[in-house]
Chains A and B, each alone.
Chain A
């Protein structure tokens, strides 16, 4: 497989308040691969997505590191112009309420593929049908408020597909949806990935969603990646105490698993008052003196399994 995206030492800051949101993020993504980002709210998962898509909001800047795309392989002379599309958590507020679904899709098709008139309409209908919206012809005249959250998320996905992206970034795509709709959207993303060969970056705080879709997963805490591994490895042998704790607080529906969830004590610190050393140490049961002195360097502990911890959980 060829590399699609390489992120090196990425630093993202809010200069006005002298806060580092991301502090030295490293990862790479191969063509057709899916990377899952997990962590609690406020750990920098979404900001990582925005930085990769070059969509950081005003006031937040990339102050160090690099984000490199290699869509045609490393030999491409021209600067790489990647095709990235993004979908968000709340589809209904991501859509413009004064435009019809048809207008929304057709304008994207014009922008990305130069399609106009009936060509654009036919393609918009095809996309809507592809994402599982029936009666596509009449639905093109509908407005977002006439659709449910699940249908609007399908429209967002159709809109993303109009760009024929090489990388689709999905930021909590199913968090606001019912569990039945979540199952449908996850299956749709699986199918589309297989059909188009695009790569996927998926953000979720639900490890079940990551387990279903991702090939590799990166666990984030306070703007740093503290562990990366293949999803199977991470779920079976989590090494960072934070990764272990996230898995332990997942609730199960197994009738035989009566153990109550084990909550992580405390909460994510604010970015302007990060603890010294490993940011997780105040909440960590394994922490010792060195944890509060210096951030642990990432160490390889298995095949493509890296962890930044002085006291990793034994397998």
Chain B
């Protein structure tokens, strides 16, 4: 096998914070020993609730945050061995697209200046060459090159997001990390941007890391998915097999939470209650406090991410009971939950 484009092993990021003026600082693991591999032109989605550590993972991969432990290699070179010049080279070959396009753009610079900035900084093009590059890139993302003289406030949200995408792609990178790049947009604009990102990937030599909480968006954009909970990857695999037969109760709950277009589906108990509980990280499965299927074993033994035999090597889940879950994400009669066998009411979905 050829070298992966991006690789990480044992990646950990700890944040220390104080809860009060005289309180002892506590350490929280935003990212907890994550291994990661991305092939050339591969697209992976990273999903989870806010606080699951997915944005921190994105920043670690791009070397924007130092890891507490672990290594990241891009095109075979470890981040730790990069010198200033290597970093500059790395910045040409990678890009980040963030959530809010208005705050990602400089209000005092025209669109053309901002898209051209990278070209000029990295001396990829001179002033006149940059102009042509930028015009072509703007047209490629569906904007007219006449937009170059406009300022961000003169554009709509969807147009701004296209500008940010143009700026990210103008250096012809191999890897783009999208951090919630589509979630805040209107559904109609979402569909436009999703269609754009699909066609760009087909034409360019690009790999995507797509970080989002929206399971509908990643579904249409990536080949592989990693589900994060409190800093760990709890399930990963080919997107189709994970969506068809999710093996971790958290993935199942996330998928079951997505509203359907069916107006007869009503009065359903939410699949999981509450929010991330960071006190669960120290020992055992960190999802156990919200998991209806947790047993005594889950409190003692931390489940490792392991392959699920039925799906070959593609699907991995970190759950002691991964094999017990049926294909359908609708709860089944007979599954043993913490409170005994699931009640008929819970079944009547």
**A interface residues, Cβ below 8 angstroms from B:** 40-41, 132, 148-151, 178-184, 186-187, 190, 205-209, 211-212, 214, 231-232, 235, 245-247, 249-253, 255, 260-264, 267-268
Contacts and interface: CB of A to CB of B under 8 A. Distances in A.
B257 A183 contact: yes
B213 A263 contact: no
B18 to A, nearest CB: 14
Nearest to B219: A253
Nearest to A242: B188
A109 B244 CA distance: 48
Contact of A251 (B49, B190, B244, B273): B190
Contact of A178 (B49, B191, B194, B244): B49
A184 to B, nearest CB: 4
Interface in B196-221: 198, 213-217, 219-220
A180 B257 contact: yes
B315 to A, nearest CB: 13
Contact of B260 (A208, A232, A264): A208
A180 B271 contact: yes
Nearest to A174: B259
Given A190-B267, A267-B188, 19 more contacts: A40-B188, A178-B213, A180-B272, A181-B49, A182-B257, A182-B259, A205-B187, A208-B260, A212-B259, A232-B263, A235-B262, A249-B191, A250-B187, A251-B217, A252-B216, A253-B258, A260-B195, A260-B198, A263-B194
25 contacts: A41-B157, A149-B50, A150-B275, A178-B213, A179-B49, A180-B270, A183-B257, A183-B259, A183-B271, A184-B270, A187-B267, A187-B269, A211-B260, A211-B262, A212-B259, A212-B265, A212-B266, A231-B263, A232-B263, A232-B264, A250-B261, A251-B190, A251-B194, A253-B243, A255-B243
A206 B259 contact: yes
Contacts of B50: 148-149, 178
Contacts of B308: none
A264 B188 contact: yes
Given A40-B186, A148-B275, A263-B195, A253 B259 contact: no
B213 A187 contact: no
A149 B275 CA distance: 10
A231 B50 CA distance: 31
A212 B257 CA distance: 12
Contact of A253 (B190, B215, B264, B271): B215
B189 interface: yes
For chain B, the bracket of interface size reads: 35 or more
B191 A183 contact: no
B292 interface: no
Contacts of A268: 156
A258 to B, nearest CB: 9
A43 B158 CA distance: 15
A32 B219 CA distance: 36
B194 A261 contact: yes
A255 B265 CA distance: 19
A211 B261 contact: yes
A262 B260 contact: no
A246 B187 contact: yes
Nearest to B245: A255
Contacts of A264: 188, 191-192
B268 interface: yes
Contact of A260 (B158, B194, B253, B254): B194
Contacts of A182: 257, 259
Contacts of B269: 187
Contact of A267 (B158, B256, B258): B158
A8 to B, nearest CB: 27
Nearest to B158: A267
Nearest to B199: A260
Contacts of B214: 179
A205 to B, nearest CB: 5
A232 B244 CA distance: 26
Nearest to A270: B156
B255 interface: yes
- Chain A CB count within 10 A is highest, among B156, B191, B214, B271, for B191
Contacts of A187: 267-270
A58 B240 CA distance: 51
A253 B244 contact: no
Nearest to A212: B259
Nearest to A208: B259
Contacts of A186: 259, 270
